[in-house]
Amino acid sequence: MLSRYSRVSNAREGLAVVKLDGSACGGCGFVVPPQDVSDIREKDNFYTCDICSRFIYYLKK
């Protein structure tokens, strides 16, 4: 996991982890499929964007 993070961080100018922005990746704007959005919001697992490979998280309020 750490090597994957390092690879993405180096490729994306240090921005390897982004917040879910509505139903889109906070890094590249790719619209995340609805089932994946639900999984990101409900579970504590790792999800990476299919386009930019950044890790996406959701901050519960």
Extended strands (E) in the chain: 17-21, 24-25, 47-48, 55-57
Structure tokens at 35: 């089932």
pTM of the model: 0.87
Q: Which pLDDT value is given to residue 53? A: 96
Question: Do β-strands 24-25 and 47-48 pair in parallel, antiparallel, or remain unpaired?
Answer: unpaired
Return the bridge partners of 21, or none: 24
What tens digit of pLDDT does each residue of 34-52 get? 999 999 998 877 899 999 9
pLDDT tens per residue across span 11-29: 999 999 999 999 999 999 9
Q: Note the pLDDT of residue 11.
A: 95
